[in-house]
């Protein structure tokens, strides 16, 4: 297991990564420093099995399919290139992905030293040398009985790791423990309140963490969007912020219903804008009312109601005029 993972939050937010994707990419970014390279027709890749991800990142997931879906999300974000053999997944960083740990001048912010590389059991470790000499000299650093020494010192890559790449990659790609069958579905969400639950496709963009505040609202919006336009909506940092505001304004229990209902409204202005999130957010409370009453309101409907009210007003005025006129005539003959 990898003890320490360093996440570049600035880049994660810039690239629209959720916490799971950022955690995995921080791990994948270091893969070239320890994984076995493999030359292919498309260039050099590095072997990285799903079992290896599970072994090193138990906090991320314990399911091979989830690990692979997260890798695909990183590939869709343009951070890695995925390939495979008959038994193992191959990864390679893109030029964009290499910017994760780079300064503006292109140099590494936290250069990876040979000591920090994972999977180098045969490499001599300076830490071990220090501890070996500390028993002979009480003034040496790293004495085992030192009361305030860290068990797992902070390191930008890893600490005290025992990585066996060969063992992990001996597992077949896609294999999982019998008690943990592979699943092809990320989750289920009620896309529309009157429809049954449906499977969330693997290629849906956006957050994959079901505990994320915006996950449910986004899943409903995205599924309804694809049903109407036969394409996925664009997911980026702006979309995530807009979904967060929608949830804050309407509440997490109903925001997803309003988001799905919004895609059913046939209004020329909304259709021209392809039902974008900005239009949804602009009149979120009004669309909430339309969802509660199950009554769509568009420009034509509003004009019809306006004309109906104008006719009612005209009739009322005519009736009042008639009553006032009749009353005046009776008074004149008395």
pLDDT higher than threshold 50 for residue 180? no
User: What residues pair up with 89 in beta bridges, in sequence order?
Assistant: 84
- Tokens representing residue 248 in the block: 């804050």
Residues contacting residue 319 through CB under 8 Å, at least 6 positions apart? none
E strands within the chain?
A: 37-40, 43-47, 80-84, 89-93, 188-189, 198-199
260/222 Cα distance (integer angstroms): 8
Q: Burial of 79 by CB count in 10 Å (0-12 exposed, 13-18 middle, 19+ buried)?
A: buried
Domains annotated for the chain, with CATH where assigned, are 9-169 (1.10.10), 188-293 (no CATH)
Residue 108 gets the label, from left (phi > 0), alpha (psi -120 to 50) or beta, of beta
- Tokens representing residue 93 in the block: 């960083």
CA dist list (Å): 21 to 156, 177, 245, 334: 18, 23, 22, 91
Spatial CA neighbour of 100 closest among 91, 110, 85: 110
Q: What is the pTM of this model?
A: 0.37
Give the neighbor-by-neighbor strand order of the sheet with 37-40: 37-40, 43-47, 89-93, 80-84
pLDDT digit string, tens, across residues 87-102: 788 999 999 989 898 7
pLDDT digit string, tens, across residues 189-233: 444 433 435 678 888 998 888 888 899 999 999 999 999 999 999
pLDDT of res. 178: 40
CA dist list (Å): 47 to 33, 52, 83, 113, 223: 12, 10, 9, 21, 34
- Tokens representing residue 21 in the block: 């994707």
pLDDT band for 267, please (50, 70, 90 cuts). confident
pLDDT of res. 200: 82
Q: Burial of 263 by CB count in 10 Å (0-12 exposed, 13-18 middle, 19+ buried)?
A: buried
pLDDT higher than threshold 60 for residue 140? no
173/51 Cα distance (integer angstroms): 8
pLDDT band for 261, please (50, 70, 90 cuts). very high
Residue recorded with tokens 């996440």: 7
pLDDT of res. 40: 86
Average pLDDT estimate for 34-63: 88
Spatial CA neighbour of 74 closest among 31, 119, 36, 110: 31
3-state secondary structure of 106: coil
Residue recorded with tokens 């994959």: 208
258/280 Cα distance (integer angstroms): 9
User: What residues pair up with 199 in beta bridges, in sequence order?
Assistant: 188
Beta strand 198-199 with 188-189 is antiparallel
- Tokens representing residue 62 in the block: 């314990």
Residues contacting residue 328 through CB under 8 Å, at least 6 positions apart? none
State the chain's mean pLDDT as an integer.
Answer: 75
- Tokens representing residue 51 in the block: 């079992």
């Amino acid at each position: 297991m990898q003890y320490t993972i360093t996440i570049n939050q600035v880049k994660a937010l810039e690239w629209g990564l959720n916490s799971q994707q950022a955690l995995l990419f921080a791990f994948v970014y270091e893969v070239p420093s320890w994984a076995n390279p493999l030359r292919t027709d498309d260039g050099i890749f590095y072997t990285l099995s799903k079992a290896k991800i599970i072994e090193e990142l138990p906090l991320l997931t314990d399911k091979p399919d989830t690990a692979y879906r997260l890798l695909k999300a990183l590939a869709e974000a343009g951070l890695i290139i995925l390939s495979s053999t008959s038994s193992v997944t191959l990864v390679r960083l893109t030029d964009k992905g290499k910017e994760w740990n780079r300064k503006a001048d292109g140099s590494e912010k936290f250069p990876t030293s040979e000591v920090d590389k994972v999977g180098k059991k045969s490499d001599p470790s300076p830490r071990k040398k220090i501890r070996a000499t500390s028993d002979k000299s009480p003034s040496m650093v790293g004495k085992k009985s030192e009361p305030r020494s860290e068990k797992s010192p902070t390191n930008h890559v890893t600490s005290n790791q025992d990585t066996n790449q060969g063992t992990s990659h001996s597992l077949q790609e896609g294999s999982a423990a019998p008690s943990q069958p592979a699943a092809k579905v990320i989750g289920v969400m009620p896309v529309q309140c009157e429809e049954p639950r449906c499977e969330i496709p693997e290629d849906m963009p956006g957050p994959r963490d079901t505990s994320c505040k915006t996950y449910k609202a986004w899943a409903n919006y995205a599924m309804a969007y694809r049903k109407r336009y036969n394409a996925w909506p664009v997911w980026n940092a702006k979309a995530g912020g807009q979904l967060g505001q929608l949830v804050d304004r309407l509440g997490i229990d109903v925001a997803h219903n309003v988001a799905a209902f919004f895609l059913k409204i046939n209004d020329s202005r909304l259709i021209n804008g392809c039902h974008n999130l900005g239009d949804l957010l602009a009149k979120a409370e009004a669309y909430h009312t339309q969802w509660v009453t199950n009554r769509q309101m568009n420009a034509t409907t509003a004009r019809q109601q306006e004309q109906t009210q104008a006719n009612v007003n005209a009739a009322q005025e005519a009736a009042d005029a008639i009553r006032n006129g009749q009353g005046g005539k009776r008074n004149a003959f008395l």
